């Protein structure tokens, strides 16, 4: 086969262009920090990279859900803690009202404080996180107690005892609310009966006999009922505490997953700088050698060709 000057020139230019493209590829990898910069560079790596990014996006959403769970659970725990403290104060007032050392004016003041405590407990039952009522089940737009002081019922609203669940991991949901309608209904009923008794004008002995404060035979039903309410509040707080512990465990799991997925994604597509720089230097050396040899093979002018 006859090799012409044109063939030599064409082959040299094609090889030089290939060399330029190779150096450009290495340069792009060094500049971007990625071994691929478009799916066509390596479809398999690109598909894996998209999968890792989906996992990271989902992880980010789960961590945002964890923040929402913390907000709900912390607010619930705080409200129940205040309710428990208030019930302790109610017990002190019950014992105080049953004493004949108090005048009718003193019992009137106790009655007024009981009324305010009752209203405060209703306010705690209507605790909100943002614009959501946390003790109303899935009816987060409606308060547990109405404006007239009566509690919502199933006939008023559905979903009062339903759970609000958020996704905390792939295929894992967690309830972040606490059912409060039964608890606060029992407390409000007790407070209403106590308020009626204190406003009836009864004497300290009559109040003590009615409440069972003066009993010595273990029939102290009012005080026992109040203790039962306090225990119910503590049980709800224990439930909230268990959920808070689980949220922390899930947060640790999500953080570990984020680290692992990020590591896999980096291994899949990040540039190995030492290797790429070496290959870049090698390609540059080959390119310079090609230019030097080509300059000697290819005649640059007609005079050089004639000579």
Max Cα-Cα span within the chain: 136
Same domain? 11 vs 126: no
Same domain? 162 vs 247: yes
Same domain? 77 vs 165: yes
Tell me what the mean pLDDT of segment 86-96 comes to: 88
Predicted pLDDT at 219: 45
pLDDT tens across 177-236, in order?
998 999 999 999 888 888 888 887 777 677 766 666 655 444 455 565 788 899 999 999
Angle at 298 between CA 295 and CA 303, to 5 degrees: 105
| Percentage of residues of the chain with pLDDT beyond 90 | 40
pLDDT above 90 (res 293): no
Q: Is the pTM of this model over 0.85?
A: no
Same domain? 229 vs 283: no
Strand 128-129 vs strand 132-133: parallel, antiparallel, or unpaired?
antiparallel
Same domain? 79 vs 224: yes
Same domain? 278 vs 229: no
* Cα–Cα distances in angstroms (integers) from residue 203 to residues 57, 100, 257, 259, in the given order: 67, 7, 67, 69
Q: Which residue has the higher pLDDT, 204 or 257?
A: 257
Start-to-end CA distance of the chain, whole Å, equals 25
Predicted pLDDT at 218: 46
Question: How many domains is the chain partitioned into structurally?
Answer: 2
Separation CA 127–CA 134 (nearest Å): 6
DSSP per-residue codes, 240-274: HHHHHHHHHHHHHHHHHHHHHHHHHHHHHHB--HH
Q: Which residue has the higher pLDDT, 8 or 119?
A: 119
121, 149 in Cβ contact below 8 A?
no
293, 32 in Cβ contact below 8 A?
no
pLDDT confidence tier of residue 306, bands split at 50, 70 and 90 = low
Which positions ≥6 away from 104 have C-beta within 8 Å?
201
Same domain? 207 vs 146: yes
Predicted pLDDT at 159: 85
Supply φ then ψ for residue 151, to 5 degrees.
Answer: -90, 150
Most confident of the following: 69-73, 104-108, 187-191, 226-230: 69-73
Asked, for residue 64, whether it belongs to a domain, the answer is yes
172, 246 in Cβ contact below 8 A?
no
Residue 301, H or E segment: none
Structure tokens of 68? 């929402």
Q: State the average pLDDT for the chain.
A: 83
Same domain? 238 vs 143: yes
Same domain? 208 vs 126: yes
Structure tokens of 281? 């230097």
Same domain? 199 vs 288: no
pLDDT confidence tier of residue 74, bands split at 50, 70 and 90 = very high
Asked, for residue 230, whether it belongs to a domain, the answer is yes
Same domain? 229 vs 295: no
Asked, for residue 258, whether it belongs to a domain, the answer is yes
Same domain? 289 vs 210: no
Asked, for residue 55, whether it belongs to a domain, the answer is yes
Residue 50, H or E segment: helix 43-97
Q: Which residue has the higher pLDDT, 44 or 15?
A: 44
Tell me what the mean pLDDT of segment 52-80 comes to: 94
Asked, for residue 212, whether it belongs to a domain, the answer is yes
Tell me what the mean pLDDT of segment 137-157 comes to: 87
102, 96 in Cβ contact below 8 A?
yes
Asked, for residue 161, whether it belongs to a domain, the answer is yes
pLDDT above 70 (res 91): yes
240, 76 in Cβ contact below 8 A?
yes
Angle at 232 between CA 124 and CA 180, to 5 degrees: 40
Residue 153 C-alpha from the chain's centroid: 30
pLDDT above 70 (res 54): yes
Tell me what the mean pLDDT of segment 156-160 comes to: 81
Predicted pLDDT at 41: 77
Asked, for residue 43, whether it belongs to a domain, the answer is no
Supply φ then ψ for residue 173, to 5 degrees.
Answer: -115, 155
Residue 150 C-alpha from the chain's centroid: 33
Asked, for residue 39, whether it belongs to a domain, the answer is no
Range of the domain at 127: 50-266
Predicted pLDDT at 297: 66
32 three-state secondary structure = helix
Separation CA 292–CA 178 (nearest Å): 80
pLDDT tens across 260-275, in order?
999 998 888 878 788 8
Residue with tokens 């308020």: 195
């Amino acid at each position: 086969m006859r090799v012409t000057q044109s063939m030599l020139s064409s082959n040299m230019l094609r090889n030089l262009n290939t060399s330029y493209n190779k150096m450009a590829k290495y340069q792009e990898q060094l500049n971007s920090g990625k071994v691929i910069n478009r799916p066509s560079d390596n479809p398999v790596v690109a598909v894996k990279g998209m999968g890792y990014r989906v996992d990271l996006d989902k992880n980010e959403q789960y961590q945002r859900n964890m923040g929402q769970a913390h907000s709900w659970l912390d607010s619930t725990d705080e409200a129940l803690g205040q309710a428990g403290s208030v019930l302790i104060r109610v017990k002190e007032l019950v014992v105080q009202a049953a004493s004949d050392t108090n005048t009718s004016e003193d019992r009137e003041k106790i009655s007024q404080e009981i009324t305010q405590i009752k209203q405060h407990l209703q306010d705690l039952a209507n605790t909100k996180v943002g614009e959501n009522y946390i003790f109303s089940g899935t009816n987060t737009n409606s308060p547990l107690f109405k404006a007239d002081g009566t509690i919502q019922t199933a006939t008023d609203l559905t979903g009062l005892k339903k759970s609000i669940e958020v996704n905390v991991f792939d295929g894992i949901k967690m309830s972040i609310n606490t059912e409060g309608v039964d608890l606060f209904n029992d407390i409000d009923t007790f407070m209403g009966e106590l308020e009626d008794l204190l406003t009836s004008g009864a004497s300290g002995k009559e109040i003590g006999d009615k409440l069972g404060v003066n009993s010595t035979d273990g029939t102290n039903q009012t005080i026992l009922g109040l203790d039962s309410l306090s225990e119910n509040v503590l049980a709800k707080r224990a439930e909230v505490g268990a959920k808070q512990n689980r949220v922390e465990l899930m947060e640790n799991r999500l953080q570990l997953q984020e680290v692992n997925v990020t590591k896999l994604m980096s291994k899949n597509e990040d540039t190995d700088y030492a290797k790429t720089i070496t290959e870049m230097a090698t390609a540059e050396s080959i390119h310079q050698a090609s230019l030097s040899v080509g300059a000697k093979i290819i005649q640059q002018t007609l005079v050089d060709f004639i000579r």
